[in-house]
Amino acid sequence: MSGLSLFMEIIGWGGSAMVVLAYTMIGLRKWDATNLAYQLLNLVGSIMLIVYTVYKDALPPATVNTIWAVIALISIIQLGVRRKKKSL
């Protein structure tokens, strides 16, 4: 396995672990969708999976993960706006 291939496998597994951990925390009711850590895990995990799936030339999962990352980013922005309004 080449250095790049190994690096991409680590990226893919790491991204998968992040997304699964985020979903697990929701499923166990430890977090809810307004939890910043949940949204950040989804965002970073999805970006890592985008990189991996594009590298593997797997465009359908790359598309799904792009949508998932956009949703997470929008949620993070909304959380920031809400927190800013609360502090005013």
Give the separation between CA 46 and CA 22, rounded to whole angstroms.
11
Q: What tens digit of pLDDT does each residue of 50-72 get?
A: 999 999 999 999 999 999 999 99
This prediction has a pTM of: 0.91
Cβ atoms within 10 Å, residue 29:
7
Give the separation between CA 38 and CA 19, rounded to whole angstroms.
9
Q: What tens digit of pLDDT does each residue of 15-53 get?
A: 999 999 999 999 999 999 999 999 999 999 999 999 999
Give the separation between CA 19 and CA 48, rounded to whole angstroms.
10
